[in-house]
Chain A
Amino acid sequence: MRGFRAFLAKELREILRTWRIWVLPGIVLFFALSGPPLAKFTPELLGTFVNSEQTGMVIQLPDPTYVDAYLQWTKNLQQLVLFAVIIMFGGIVSAEKRAGTTALVLTKPLSRTAFVLAKYVSQALLLIASVVVGALLTWGLTYAIFAEAPVAPLVQATGSWLALGLMFLALMELFSSAMDSQAGAAGLGFLGFIAIGIATLWAPAVEYSPAGLLGAPTALVIGESVALGWPVGSTLALTTLLVATAVLVFRRREL
């Protein structure tokens, strides 16, 4: 895997010195910072708008707790952050081909395997770092606002989502290795998301496949018992398979 370290170093510097450092971390941190205050004040805001002496309508809302703050976090991860991953990484490989940089770097002793793997590792590090920092902020703000913030459910929920997020990153790398269009790859990514959503309707898929991770963060936060072994194991296996397939596809392509 010649050239892996040098290319990985380039990828990491590129993240730090371009728009990449702002987009995904910015989205994740925005949700981390806004989740706990929204959980705290949403019932009050709803009460202000809905309860009215003129209409005589009164809705009783329970006092918010740390669970509501954690649910804000997991809900955003499961939908908006996953969508950001699909859109942003639709060009993870193809963007370099379109820019013409592959013709410069892949005619040097940098293997195509190293090229694809370095891209996956660097973007996985960005995703992991963004989500871990977001989870820490969520925990800190939740504790500051609600004076209660147990660590275990947040860690389990965030960890199970990260496994799914890394699988979607691998899926996007495969699509981006196979086609030049970022929009086309993102479209296929959304189809993958919908397919997993449909699979959650079938109990064996939830028990044994990555589909089980789609609803797991929410279930973990509200205290339901979730068997994560098979879903996490099958997700990691599928992630490895997707990255390996991306390497094989990219090695066969003309650039």
Chain B
Amino acid sequence: MTAAIEITGLTKVYGEKRALDGVDLEVPVGSVFGFLGPNGAGKTTTLRILTGLAHATDGTARVFGRDVVTATNDVRSDIGFLPDVPGYYEWMTAPEFLRFAGSLFGLGGSVLEERVKALLDLAGLAGVTTKVGGYSRGMKQRLGVAQALVNAPKLLMLDEPTSALDPIGRKEVLDMIASLGGRTTVFFSTHILSDVERVCDQVAILHEGRVVTQAPIAELKARYATSRIVVGVTGDADAFAERLAGEQWASDVARKENGFLEITVADLDLARRAVPALVADAGAGLTRFETGEVSLEDVFVELVGGGR
């Protein structure tokens, strides 16, 4: 099956700076795809090239198999786009803006009216009669998602849709995105890890203009799976730490500030059996035993570097 987005060797140079440095990316049809990266990684530049707002220095970008440079209107007919800071005609109301957006796709009549009504409901803006100029940031973002859906797009591209929102606004926009899962392909750029974990099933991590990894989230976690155990013991914790460090299943043992030990383990089941036995063998008591799975944040920090 043709990928929703297929990017090969995409490069964008601004003067001396390489904003994108040979990006390769494939977004499967039907996925909710998180395009994750720190600020300045090149996420917005990638989206601007995909939507025709900017031109690539080198490489190709295809949407449903069509080149974004040569098939501009065909590509745009199939996509919905929300930029990071959407600008509106502030003299319009939300229904007027949605009707105008629909008219640019050639929509009209009852089809457009029904769609506008449904989208206003989805965005929680039904019955709001004020002009867009008076909207809060959250209302503007929800209207932004709604206008991006007016053509029932096969691909929805959202650039940092939650970055400037308060927790309630963020939840509302994420709920809107989550509700689209399975109906349309969603390509969603963000630097907020928890947003990706919450709504995405696939992720790519972009760093300094390069894709450092791309995979389903579950597979990515499994690939970097190193579980952690936090252990508290009575008696000499340092001596116990030395003893743990000699075990093959313990790849790292770190002394935490509160006196607990954090053990990085390759085989969690083995560690669960071995730690209590070692504690008993040392004649100590177990005061804390807590296991934790690797998070996307752990993977992100490992790939992008925690020293940033």
Contacts and interface: CB of A to CB of B under 8 A. Distances in A.
A237 interface: no
Interface string A105-128: 111111100000000000000000
Contacts of B89: 10, 14, 101
A7 interface: yes
Contacts of B73: 2, 109, 111
B87 interface: yes
Interface in B116-138: none
B147 interface: yes
A45 interface: no
Interface in B42-81: 48, 51-55, 72-73, 76-77, 79, 81
Contacts, number: 70
B147 A107 contact: no
Interface residues of A, number: 25
A17 B132 CA distance: 14
Interface stretch (B97-105, B221-229, B269-277): B97-105
B88 A108 contact: no
B52 A109 contact: no
Interface in A64-119: 96, 99-111
Contacts of A111: 72-73
B86 interface: yes
B124 to A, nearest CB: 20
B87 A100 contact: yes
Interface string B80-98: 0101011111010000000
B46 to A, nearest CB: 14
Contacts of B167: none
A104 B86 contact: yes
A140 interface: no
Given A10-B100, A108-B101, A101 B53 contact: no
Q: How large is the interface on B (under 10, 10 to 19, 20 to 34, 35 or more residues)?
A: 20 to 34
Contacts of A255: 48, 53-54
A111 B81 CA distance: 16
B83 to A, nearest CB: 4
Nearest to A18: B91
B52 A104 contact: no
A108 B104 contact: yes
A106 B77 contact: no
B97 to A, nearest CB: 9
A3 interface: yes
A53 interface: no
A133 interface: no
B91 A254 contact: no
B109 interface: no
B53 A109 contact: no
A17 B103 CA distance: 19
Contacts of A96: 87
Interface string A1-36: 011001101100010011000000000000000000
8 contacts: A17-B91, A101-B87, A104-B144, A105-B101, A107-B53, A107-B81, A107-B83, A108-B104
Interface of A: 2-3, 6-7, 9-10, 14, 17-18, 96, 99-111, 254-255
The 4 closest A-B pairs by CB, nearest first: A100-B87, A6-B103, A103-B83, A108-B104
